[in-house]
C-alpha cells in the first residue's frame, strides 16, 4: 500500500513541476 502511495505522489509532483515550468517559461519568454 505504501509503495502505491509513493508512486501516486511522485506522479503528482511530476505534473506540478511541469505546470510550474510552463508558467515560468511563459513569463521568461514574454
Give me the numbers of helices (H) and strands (E) for the chain, helices first please: 1, 0
How far apart are alpha carbons 17 and 1 in whole angstroms? 25
pLDDT digits (tens, 9 = 90+) for 1-30: 899 999 999 999 999 999 999 999 999 997
The pLDDT assigned to 1 comes to 81
Predicted pLDDT at 30:
78
Residue 24 and residue 4: Cα distance in Å, rounded? 30
According to DSSP, residue 30 is labeled -
**Predicted TM-score of the model (pTM):** 0.60
CA end-to-end span of the chain = 44
Rounded to the nearest 10 degrees, how much is the dihedral formed by the CA atoms of 3, 8, 9, 14? 130
Residue boundaries of the structural domains of the chain: 1-30
Amino acid at each position: 500500500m505504501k509503495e502505491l502511495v509513493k508512486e501516486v505522489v511522485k506522479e503528482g509532483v511530476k505534473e506540478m513541476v511541469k505546470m510550474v515550468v510552463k508558467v515560468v517559461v511563459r513569463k521568461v519568454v514574454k
